[in-house]
Copies of this chain bind each other. A is one copy, B any other.
Protein backbone atom coordinates (compact mmCIF):
# COMPACT_ATOMS: atom_id res chain seq x y z
CA UNK A 1 0.00 0.00 0.00
CA UNK A 2 1.34 3.33 -1.13
CA UNK A 3 0.88 6.11 1.43
CA UNK A 4 1.53 8.90 -1.05
CA UNK A 5 -1.08 7.54 -3.43
CA UNK A 6 -3.66 7.41 -0.64
CA UNK A 7 -2.71 10.90 0.59
CA UNK A 8 -3.22 12.20 -2.94
CA UNK A 9 -6.74 10.81 -3.10
CA UNK A 10 -8.05 11.27 0.43
CA UNK A 11 -11.03 13.60 0.64
CA UNK A 12 -13.06 14.64 3.69
CA UNK A 13 -16.41 13.06 4.40
CA UNK A 14 -18.82 12.89 7.24
CA UNK A 15 -18.46 9.11 7.70
CA UNK A 16 -17.28 6.91 10.52
CA UNK A 17 -15.19 3.76 10.42
CA UNK A 18 -14.92 1.15 13.19
CA UNK A 19 -12.03 -1.34 13.13
CA UNK A 20 -12.78 -4.02 15.69
CA UNK A 21 -9.69 -6.16 16.34
CA UNK A 22 -10.22 -9.47 18.09
CA UNK A 23 -6.60 -10.14 18.94
CA UNK A 24 -5.35 -13.54 17.73
CA UNK A 25 -8.73 -14.21 16.09
CA UNK A 26 -7.70 -16.89 13.56
CA UNK A 27 -7.12 -20.45 14.65
CA UNK A 28 -6.78 -24.10 13.78
CA UNK A 29 -9.26 -26.92 14.36
CA UNK A 30 -9.58 -28.34 17.83
CA UNK A 31 -10.42 -32.02 18.19
CA UNK A 32 -12.48 -33.92 17.31
CA UNK A 33 -14.98 -32.09 15.09
CA UNK A 34 -12.43 -30.30 12.95
CA UNK A 35 -13.77 -26.82 13.67
CA UNK A 36 -11.75 -23.79 14.69
CA UNK A 37 -12.81 -21.74 17.72
CA UNK A 38 -14.40 -19.15 15.44
CA UNK A 39 -16.22 -21.86 13.47
CA UNK A 40 -17.33 -23.55 16.65
CA UNK A 41 -18.57 -20.37 18.31
CA UNK A 42 -22.23 -19.47 17.99
CA UNK A 43 -21.96 -16.08 16.28
CA UNK A 44 -25.31 -15.08 14.77
CA UNK A 45 -24.44 -11.39 14.59
CA UNK A 46 -21.01 -11.82 13.03
CA UNK A 47 -22.54 -14.31 10.59
CA UNK A 48 -25.20 -11.79 9.71
CA UNK A 49 -22.48 -9.19 9.12
CA UNK A 50 -20.58 -11.70 6.97
CA UNK A 51 -23.73 -12.36 4.96
CA UNK A 52 -24.18 -8.65 4.25
CA UNK A 53 -20.48 -7.78 4.06
CA UNK A 54 -17.42 -8.75 2.07
CA UNK A 55 -15.12 -11.34 3.60
CA UNK A 56 -11.66 -12.79 3.20
CA UNK A 57 -8.47 -13.57 5.11
CA UNK A 58 -5.57 -11.16 5.51
CA UNK A 59 -1.84 -11.65 5.91
CA UNK A 60 -0.19 -9.03 8.13
CA UNK A 61 3.44 -9.58 7.14
CA UNK A 62 4.08 -12.07 4.33
CA UNK A 63 3.10 -15.63 3.45
CA UNK A 64 4.26 -17.98 6.19
CA UNK A 65 5.40 -15.20 8.54
CA UNK A 66 4.00 -15.08 12.07
CA UNK A 67 3.34 -11.48 13.14
CA UNK A 68 4.27 -10.11 16.54
CA UNK A 69 1.61 -7.90 18.12
CA UNK A 70 3.19 -4.65 17.00
CA UNK A 71 3.69 -5.87 13.45
CA UNK A 72 0.12 -7.20 13.18
CA UNK A 73 -1.39 -3.91 14.28
CA UNK A 74 0.87 -1.78 12.09
CA UNK A 75 -0.32 -3.80 9.11
CA UNK A 76 -3.99 -3.28 10.02
CA UNK A 77 -3.29 0.45 10.23
CA UNK A 78 -1.79 0.31 6.73
CA UNK A 79 1.91 0.40 7.64
CA UNK A 80 3.79 -2.53 6.11
CA UNK A 81 5.67 -3.93 9.10
CA UNK A 82 8.60 -5.06 6.94
CA UNK A 83 9.11 -1.49 5.82
CA UNK A 84 8.10 0.15 9.10
CA UNK A 85 10.27 -1.63 11.65
CA UNK A 86 9.91 -0.82 15.31
CA UNK A 87 13.19 -1.16 17.19
CA UNK A 88 13.14 -3.81 19.91
CA UNK A 89 13.80 -1.31 22.68
CA UNK A 90 10.87 0.83 21.50
CA UNK A 91 8.64 -2.23 21.30
CA UNK A 92 9.54 -3.06 24.89
CA UNK A 93 8.63 0.50 25.93
CA UNK A 94 5.29 0.25 24.12
CA UNK A 95 4.62 -3.06 25.85
CA UNK A 96 5.15 -1.64 29.34
CA UNK A 97 3.18 1.52 28.65
CA UNK A 98 6.22 3.74 29.10
CA UNK A 99 5.56 7.00 27.26
CA UNK A 100 8.66 7.39 25.14
CA UNK A 101 9.51 10.88 23.93
CA UNK A 102 11.32 11.87 20.76
CA UNK A 103 15.07 11.27 21.22
CA UNK A 104 14.65 8.95 24.20
CA UNK A 105 16.77 5.84 23.69
CA UNK A 106 15.14 2.60 24.82
CA UNK A 107 16.66 -0.86 25.22
CA UNK A 108 15.61 -4.28 26.42
CA UNK A 109 17.41 -5.40 29.53
CA UNK A 110 17.94 -8.86 31.01
CA UNK A 111 19.21 -9.59 34.46
CA UNK A 112 21.87 -12.26 34.05
CA UNK A 113 24.39 -14.24 36.11
CA UNK A 114 28.14 -13.77 35.71
CA UNK A 115 30.89 -15.79 37.35
CA UNK A 116 33.90 -14.43 39.22
CA UNK A 117 35.81 -14.03 35.98
CA UNK A 118 32.99 -11.81 34.66
CA UNK A 119 31.71 -14.34 32.12
CA UNK A 120 27.98 -14.91 31.65
CA UNK A 121 26.84 -18.26 33.06
CA UNK A 122 23.08 -17.67 32.74
CA UNK A 123 21.71 -15.06 30.32
CA UNK A 124 18.37 -15.02 32.21
CA UNK A 125 19.55 -15.20 35.83
CA UNK A 126 17.44 -18.31 36.39
CA UNK A 127 14.32 -16.36 35.35
CA UNK A 128 14.07 -14.57 38.69
CA UNK A 129 10.52 -13.82 39.91
CA UNK A 130 9.02 -10.52 38.82
CA UNK A 131 8.93 -9.08 42.35
CA UNK A 132 12.68 -9.67 42.69
CA UNK A 133 13.06 -7.92 39.34
CA UNK A 134 11.14 -4.91 40.74
CA UNK A 135 13.46 -4.75 43.73
CA UNK A 136 16.56 -4.81 41.54
CA UNK A 137 15.17 -2.17 39.18
CA UNK A 138 14.97 0.11 42.25
CA UNK A 139 18.72 -0.40 42.70
CA UNK A 140 19.46 0.35 39.06
CA UNK A 141 17.42 3.56 39.20
CA UNK A 142 19.98 4.95 41.64
CA UNK A 143 22.64 4.94 38.95
CA UNK A 144 23.57 8.45 37.88
CA UNK A 145 24.74 9.42 34.42
CA UNK A 146 25.88 12.93 33.45
CA UNK A 147 23.17 15.08 31.78
CA UNK A 148 20.90 12.12 31.25
CA UNK A 149 17.70 11.06 32.96
CA UNK A 150 17.44 7.32 33.50
CA UNK A 151 14.36 5.07 33.62
CA UNK A 152 14.44 1.41 34.57
CA UNK A 153 11.10 -0.39 34.40
CA UNK A 154 10.54 -4.01 35.36
CA UNK A 155 8.82 -6.14 32.72
CA UNK A 156 8.51 -9.80 33.71
CA UNK A 157 10.84 -12.37 35.26
CA UNK A 158 14.38 -11.36 34.25
CA UNK A 159 13.38 -8.69 31.71
CA UNK A 160 13.36 -4.91 32.16
CA UNK A 161 13.22 -1.74 30.11
CA UNK A 162 16.00 0.84 30.10
CA UNK A 163 15.38 4.37 28.82
CA UNK A 164 17.91 7.18 28.58
CA UNK A 165 16.51 10.69 28.19
CA UNK A 166 18.60 13.69 27.28
CA UNK A 167 19.96 15.80 24.44
CA UNK A 168 21.95 14.32 21.57
CA UNK A 169 21.36 10.65 22.27
CA UNK A 170 21.31 8.03 19.54
CA UNK A 171 19.90 4.50 19.22
CA UNK A 172 22.84 3.42 17.04
CA UNK A 173 24.55 1.46 19.79
CA UNK A 174 25.42 -2.23 19.69
CA UNK A 175 24.08 -4.82 22.15
CA UNK A 176 26.01 -5.74 25.28
CA UNK A 177 24.36 -9.18 25.24
CA UNK A 178 26.95 -11.69 23.94
CA UNK A 179 24.05 -14.09 23.08
CA UNK A 180 26.01 -16.96 24.58
CA UNK A 181 27.29 -18.12 27.93
CA UNK A 182 31.00 -18.42 28.80
CA UNK A 183 31.68 -14.94 27.44
CA UNK A 184 31.80 -11.55 29.14
CA UNK A 185 29.10 -8.95 28.39
CA UNK A 186 30.15 -6.92 25.37
CA UNK A 187 31.30 -3.33 25.43
CA UNK A 188 28.60 -1.18 23.73
CA UNK A 189 29.90 0.22 20.44
CA UNK A 190 28.58 3.24 18.53
CA UNK A 191 27.52 2.78 14.90
CA UNK A 192 28.76 6.15 13.65
CA UNK A 193 30.29 9.04 15.56
CA UNK A 194 27.05 10.72 16.70
CA UNK A 195 26.36 7.66 18.85
CA UNK A 196 29.69 7.67 20.67
CA UNK A 197 28.44 9.60 23.69
CA UNK A 198 25.42 7.30 24.04
CA UNK A 199 27.65 4.22 23.80
CA UNK A 200 29.90 5.69 26.46
CA UNK A 201 26.89 6.34 28.75
CA UNK A 202 25.60 2.80 28.24
CA UNK A 203 29.05 1.47 29.13
CA UNK A 204 28.99 3.48 32.35
CA UNK A 205 25.50 2.22 33.15
CA UNK A 206 26.61 -1.39 32.70
CA UNK A 207 29.67 -0.96 34.91
CA UNK A 208 27.65 0.69 37.67
CA UNK A 209 24.96 -1.97 37.35
CA UNK A 210 27.59 -4.61 37.94
CA UNK A 211 28.79 -2.83 41.09
CA UNK A 212 25.30 -2.36 42.48
CA UNK A 213 24.16 -5.90 41.69
CA UNK A 214 27.26 -7.57 43.21
CA UNK A 215 26.09 -10.10 45.76
CA UNK A 216 22.58 -10.29 44.32
CA UNK A 217 23.19 -13.67 42.67
CA UNK A 218 21.76 -15.03 40.48
CA UNK A 219 20.93 -11.54 39.17
CA UNK A 220 24.36 -9.97 39.46
CA UNK A 221 24.67 -8.28 36.06
CA UNK A 222 22.62 -6.88 33.16
CA UNK A 223 22.63 -7.48 29.40
CA UNK A 224 21.24 -4.79 27.09
CA UNK A 225 20.03 -5.04 23.51
CA UNK A 226 17.88 -3.49 20.85
CA UNK A 227 18.78 0.17 21.45
CA UNK A 228 16.31 2.31 19.52
CA UNK A 229 14.55 5.66 19.35
CA UNK A 230 10.97 6.43 18.32
CA UNK A 231 10.68 6.14 14.57
CA UNK A 232 9.65 9.20 12.57
CA UNK A 233 6.83 8.00 10.40
CA UNK A 234 3.99 9.79 8.67
CA UNK A 235 1.09 9.87 11.10
CA UNK A 236 -2.29 8.19 10.61
CA UNK A 237 -3.86 11.65 10.39
CA UNK A 238 -1.38 12.82 7.73
CA UNK A 239 -1.97 9.80 5.52
CA UNK A 240 -5.69 9.26 5.91
CA UNK A 241 -6.97 12.61 7.14
CA UNK A 242 -8.92 10.79 9.85
CA UNK A 243 -9.41 11.84 13.43
CA UNK A 244 -8.67 8.50 15.00
CA UNK A 245 -9.17 7.05 18.47
CA UNK A 246 -7.82 3.87 20.05
CA UNK A 247 -10.04 2.07 22.54
CA UNK A 248 -7.79 -0.56 24.10
CA UNK A 249 -6.64 -1.59 27.56
CA UNK A 250 -3.25 -3.19 27.00
CA UNK A 251 -0.15 -0.97 26.83
CA UNK A 252 1.19 -2.53 23.61
CA UNK A 253 -1.84 -1.60 21.50
CA UNK A 254 -2.19 1.85 23.03
CA UNK A 255 1.53 2.29 22.41
CA UNK A 256 1.39 1.34 18.74
CA UNK A 257 -1.61 3.65 18.29
CA UNK A 258 0.22 6.57 19.91
CA UNK A 259 3.25 5.86 17.72
CA UNK A 260 1.03 6.72 14.72
CA UNK A 261 -0.53 9.72 16.42
CA UNK A 262 -3.83 7.96 17.12
CA UNK A 263 -5.46 9.38 20.25
CA UNK A 264 -6.07 6.98 23.10
CA UNK A 265 -9.20 7.28 25.22
CA UNK A 266 -9.86 5.90 28.70
CA UNK A 267 -11.75 2.63 28.84
CA UNK A 268 -12.08 -0.54 30.90
CA UNK A 269 -10.93 -4.09 30.23
CA UNK A 270 -14.29 -5.59 29.17
CA UNK A 271 -15.83 -5.31 25.73
CA UNK A 272 -18.89 -3.70 27.32
CA UNK A 273 -16.70 -0.95 28.72
CA UNK A 274 -15.06 -0.48 25.33
CA UNK A 275 -18.46 -0.15 23.69
CA UNK A 276 -19.39 2.43 26.32
CA UNK A 277 -16.22 4.39 25.48
CA UNK A 278 -17.04 4.10 21.80
CA UNK A 279 -20.48 5.56 22.40
CA UNK A 280 -19.09 8.28 24.63
CA UNK A 281 -16.56 9.48 22.05
CA UNK A 282 -18.65 8.76 18.95
CA UNK A 283 -19.00 12.39 17.89
CA UNK A 284 -15.35 13.31 18.41
CA UNK A 285 -13.65 10.98 15.93
CA UNK A 286 -13.93 9.55 12.39
CA UNK A 287 -12.07 6.30 12.99
CA UNK A 288 -12.20 3.97 15.98
CA UNK A 289 -9.78 1.14 16.66
CA UNK A 290 -11.39 -1.11 19.26
CA UNK A 291 -9.20 -3.87 20.69
CA UNK A 292 -10.27 -7.10 22.38
CA UNK A 293 -7.50 -9.08 24.08
CA UNK A 294 -9.31 -12.19 25.38
CA UNK A 295 -9.32 -14.03 22.05
CA UNK A 296 -5.52 -13.95 22.00
CA UNK A 297 -4.82 -14.74 25.64
CA UNK A 298 -7.15 -17.75 25.58
CA UNK A 299 -5.33 -18.99 22.46
CA UNK A 300 -1.93 -18.43 24.08
CA UNK A 301 -3.16 -20.41 27.09
CA UNK A 302 -4.18 -23.27 24.80
CA UNK A 303 -7.75 -22.86 26.06
CA UNK A 304 -9.90 -23.59 23.00
CA UNK A 305 -13.20 -23.50 24.94
CA UNK A 306 -12.41 -20.11 26.46
CA UNK A 307 -11.51 -18.73 23.04
CA UNK A 308 -14.94 -19.89 21.81
CA UNK A 309 -16.61 -18.10 24.75
CA UNK A 310 -14.61 -14.90 24.20
CA UNK A 311 -15.73 -14.81 20.58
CA UNK A 312 -19.35 -15.46 21.57
CA UNK A 313 -19.21 -12.65 24.13
CA UNK A 314 -18.09 -10.19 21.46
CA UNK A 315 -20.71 -11.48 19.06
CA UNK A 316 -23.47 -10.87 21.56
CA UNK A 317 -22.50 -7.19 21.80
CA UNK A 318 -22.21 -6.56 18.04
CA UNK A 319 -25.79 -5.19 17.80
CA UNK A 320 -24.87 -2.46 20.27
CA UNK A 321 -21.91 -1.51 18.10
CA UNK A 322 -24.15 -1.39 15.01
CA UNK A 323 -26.69 0.77 16.85
CA UNK A 324 -24.18 3.60 16.55
CA UNK A 325 -24.66 3.38 12.76
CA UNK A 326 -21.04 3.34 11.67
CA UNK A 327 -20.60 3.75 7.91
CA UNK A 328 -17.88 1.09 7.74
CA UNK A 329 -17.32 -1.79 10.14
CA UNK A 330 -14.34 -4.13 9.92
CA UNK A 331 -14.04 -7.11 12.24
CA UNK A 332 -10.77 -9.03 12.12
CA UNK A 333 -7.66 -9.96 14.12
CA UNK A 334 -4.03 -8.87 14.01
CA UNK A 335 -2.80 -12.48 13.59
CA UNK A 336 -3.97 -16.01 14.34
CA UNK A 337 -3.41 -17.61 17.74
CA UNK A 338 -4.45 -21.27 17.47
CA UNK A 339 -5.01 -22.87 20.85
CA UNK A 340 -3.23 -26.02 19.60
CA UNK A 341 -0.06 -23.99 19.02
CA UNK A 342 -0.44 -21.84 22.17
CA UNK A 343 1.22 -19.05 20.21
CA UNK A 344 0.79 -16.58 17.39
CA UNK A 345 0.84 -18.22 13.99
CA UNK A 346 1.26 -17.43 10.30
CA UNK A 347 -2.26 -18.40 9.26
CA UNK A 348 -4.28 -15.74 7.46
CA UNK A 349 -6.88 -13.98 9.61
CA UNK A 350 -10.63 -13.83 8.88
CA UNK A 351 -11.99 -10.41 7.94
CA UNK A 352 -15.46 -9.07 7.41
CA UNK A 353 -15.91 -5.56 6.05
CA UNK A 354 -19.38 -4.10 5.92
CA UNK A 355 -20.61 -0.84 4.47
CA UNK A 356 -23.64 0.13 2.46
CA UNK A 357 -21.42 -0.06 -0.63
CA UNK A 358 -19.23 -3.07 0.17
CA UNK A 359 -20.61 -5.41 -2.54
CA UNK A 360 -21.27 -8.53 -0.55
CA UNK A 361 -19.97 -11.95 -1.60
CA UNK A 362 -21.37 -15.48 -1.22
CA UNK A 363 -19.94 -15.95 2.32
CA UNK A 364 -22.68 -16.44 4.92
CA UNK A 365 -20.69 -17.51 7.99
CA UNK A 366 -17.80 -15.76 9.70
CA UNK A 367 -15.12 -18.45 9.92
CA UNK A 368 -11.70 -19.36 8.56
CA UNK A 369 -12.90 -21.76 5.88
CA UNK A 370 -15.99 -19.80 4.92
CA UNK A 371 -13.85 -16.69 4.39
CA UNK A 372 -11.61 -18.53 1.90
CA UNK A 373 -14.42 -18.03 -0.60
CA UNK A 374 -14.84 -14.33 0.16
CA UNK A 375 -14.49 -11.39 -2.16
CA UNK A 376 -11.33 -10.16 -0.42
CA UNK A 377 -9.57 -13.43 -1.18
CA UNK A 378 -7.91 -16.05 1.00
CA UNK A 379 -4.66 -14.16 1.80
CA UNK A 380 -4.74 -10.49 0.84
CA UNK A 381 -2.24 -8.04 2.41
CA UNK A 382 -3.59 -6.57 5.64
CA UNK A 383 -2.28 -3.17 4.50
CA UNK A 384 -5.07 -3.11 1.89
CA UNK A 385 -7.70 -2.82 4.62
CA UNK A 386 -7.25 0.91 5.26
CA UNK A 387 -7.68 1.91 1.59
CA UNK A 388 -10.74 -0.35 1.43
CA UNK A 389 -12.12 1.21 4.61
CA UNK A 390 -11.60 4.71 3.20
CA UNK A 391 -13.19 3.77 -0.12
CA UNK A 392 -16.23 2.29 1.60
CA UNK A 393 -16.46 5.45 3.72
CA UNK A 394 -16.49 7.45 0.45
CA UNK A 395 -13.28 9.15 1.52
CA UNK A 396 -11.15 8.50 -1.57
CA UNK A 397 -11.35 10.36 -4.86
CA UNK A 398 -10.98 8.83 -8.28
CA UNK A 399 -7.41 8.20 -9.45
CA UNK A 400 -6.46 9.81 -12.72
CA UNK A 401 -9.45 12.10 -12.87
26 contacts between A and B (CB under 8 A): A1-B62, A1-B63, A2-B62, A28-B359, A56-B378, A63-B387, A64-B384, A64-B386, A64-B387, A64-B391, A64-B396, A66-B399, A69-B400, A71-B400, A85-B400, A338-B357, A340-B357, A341-B357, A361-B369, A361-B372, A369-B375, A372-B373, A372-B375, A374-B378, A377-B377, A377-B379
**CB-contact partner of A378 in B29, B344, B361, under 8 A:** B361
Is A387 a contact of B347 with CB atoms below 8 Å?
Answer: no
Binary per-residue interface labels of chain A (85-114) against chain B in the complex, 1 for a CB within 8 Å, 0 otherwise: 110100100000000000000000000000
Would you give the shortest CB distance from A51 to chain B, in whole angstroms?
A: 11
A260 interface residue, CB < 8 Å from B? no
A154 interface residue, CB < 8 Å from B? no
**In which size bucket is the chain A interface?**
35 or more
**CB-contact partner of A362 in B2, B357, B373, B392, under 8 A:** B373
Would you give the shortest CB distance from A241 to chain B, in whole angstroms?
A: 15
Q: Which residues of A are at the interface with B, using a C-beta cutoff of 8 A?
A: 1-2, 5, 9, 28-29, 36, 56-57, 61-71, 81-82, 85-86, 88, 91, 338, 340-341, 343-348, 357, 359-362, 368-369, 372-381, 384, 386-392, 396-401
* A340 neighbours in B (Cβ, 8 Å): 357
Would you give the shortest CB distance from A359 to chain B, in whole angstroms?
A: 5
* A379 neighbours in B (Cβ, 8 Å): 375-377, 380
- Chain B residue nearest to A5 (CB atoms) is B82
How far, in whole Å, are A230 and B188 apart by their CA atoms in the complex? 41
Asked if A344 meets B398 with Cβ closer than 8 Å, knowing A361-B369, A362-B373, the reply is: yes
Asked if A9 meets B361 with Cβ closer than 8 Å, knowing A344-B398, A372-B373, the reply is: no
Would you give the shortest CB distance from A388 to chain B, in whole angstroms?
A: 4
Asked if A62 meets B357 with Cβ closer than 8 Å, knowing A344-B398, A362-B372, A400-B67, the reply is: no
